[in-house]
Amino acid sequence: MANPVAPWGNAQFDGFAKVTEIGPLGMITLRAKRDVAGLEAAFAALGLTLPDPRRIVIAGDKAAGWMSPDEYLLILPYGAVNDALASLATSLAGQHHLAANVSDARAVFRIEGDKADQVLKKIAPVDIDTLAVGELRRSRAAQVAAAFWKDGQGYTLVCFRSVAGYMMGLLSHSATSGSELV
């Protein structure tokens, strides 16, 4: 089996911030209520911590994000998804939940540099200055849905696969040198 292809070919753009399409990453959407028995153990079995509302907990190459009161986003290496799904099925057997592989349904971008925040300020109606470390923000980027969080020297942004090209164009336009928000 060949390697999976990132939706926009891992494109890059260098402006006043650096934009890179990363991935594909392994992603699982997990629908379950917070009080489902064994949920914390199910996360722990994957090396993950159950996130608080509107937060994402990052642990190495894995992360768990809170998406809604009954939805989580699990991020892990692309090749680890099937084992993780099997693990969840075991951990949550008999408990009402839904776990689905969405690794290929998403495009993931990194926006990096001292002024990376400005790229997002131009496209998302979000108060980036008050975005806490570990805060996962579901919002929009111009005309499409997006989720993002601060991570190291930049931000990670997730959107739907089909609009990867639009997102790359949007991020590149926003990061164009000379258009710093000063």
C-beta atoms surrounding 83 within 10 Å: 12
Q: Does 150 bind another protein (CB under 8 A)?
A: no
Stretch that binds another protein, among 42-50, 53-61, 103-111, 149-157 (CB under 8 A): 103-111
Sole binder of another protein in the list 37, 41, 93, 100 (CB under 8 A): 100
Backbone angles phi, psi at 81, to 5 degrees: -70, -45
Q: Does 97 bind another protein (CB under 8 A)?
A: yes
**How many Cα atoms sit within 13 Å of 15 on the Cβ side?**
21
Closest CB to another protein among residues 134, 169: 169
8 A C-beta contact, residue 171 and residue 118: no
Stretch that binds another protein, among 50-58, 99-107, 108-116, 147-155 (CB under 8 A): 99-107
- Per DSSP, what are the bridge partners of residue 14? 18
Sole binder of another protein in the list 17, 24, 62, 88 (CB under 8 A): 24
User: Alpha-carbon distance 182 to 175, whole Å?
Assistant: 13
- How far from 122 is each of 118, 135, 150, 170, CA to CA, in Å? 6, 19, 16, 10
Q: Does 35 bind another protein (CB under 8 A)?
A: no
Q: How many residues touch another protein (CB under 8 A)?
A: 49
- Residues near another protein (CB under 8 A) are 1-2, 4-7, 24, 29, 31, 70, 96-98, 100-106, 118, 121-127, 129-130, 142-144, 160-166, 169-170, 173-174, 176-179, 181
